[in-house]
Amino acid sequence: MLAFPVKIPSIIQRLFPKYIWKKAFSNKTLYLTFDDGPTPEITEWTLNTLKQFNAKATFFCIGDNVRKYPEILKKISNQGHSIGNHTFNHLNGWKIDTNLYIENTEKAQTTLEKELGSERFSTKKLFRPPYGKIKNKQARVLLKKGYQIIMWSVISYDWDKSLKEEDCLNNVIKHTKDGSLIVFHDSVKAKKNLQYALPKVLTYYTEKGYKFEAL
């Protein structure tokens, strides 16, 4: 059973109005997001694929991966993509104490700022909770600290190895509309579905006159 529906129902979005679920009034603009990197090979491939379509995206990075692969993080930044925080150790907020969760998130932010400079994050601190699971108290603390909590409109389920590549693609094609935030993963477990679906998503919407922007 899926943890979340492919398209987040509007009632869920209304229950959590301080989270960002989509971008309103986007004229033929979509927002691709990639979680769990940077990852050697997968992130590099993702960047090369986006570049072919002149597409920009947002990468929600795990702090420990940033520590291991800072050169890939810098490449993401240098190519004009946005970068967000995905905690240092990919924590499930529902299963961890709030203080530890905030500490882990701040550790990831410090790591990002160390590699890219604090000015890179001076105007916005983007945060996506791993698994989409975050307690209300955790969210309140992060919002007070100036983070924007970025959720999504459509989730591809690319990491699910039991999912056929065509179904991953259809998850996106069938549910995306103007202003949608779309979740993919630049991770090893998502490789099969990502490498099939992403070029086709970019081709499909580019031919329809859409553009892809970073948050």
CB atoms within 10 A of CB 125: 18
Query: 148 has which bridge partners?
Result: 126
| Cα distance between residue 109 and residue 146, in whole Å | 12
Which tokens hold the place of 105? 């998130």
Active-site choice (35, 36, 158, 186): 35
Which tokens hold the place of 186? 């630049």
Closest residue by Cα to residue 39 from 196, 189, 187, 158: 187
Active-site choice (36, 81, 86, 185): 185
Does 97 participate in catalysis according to the annotation? Answer: no
| Cα distance between residue 12 and residue 97, in whole Å | 24
CB 38 within 8 A of CB 44: no
Does 35 participate in catalysis according to the annotation? Answer: yes
Which residues belong to the active site? 35, 185
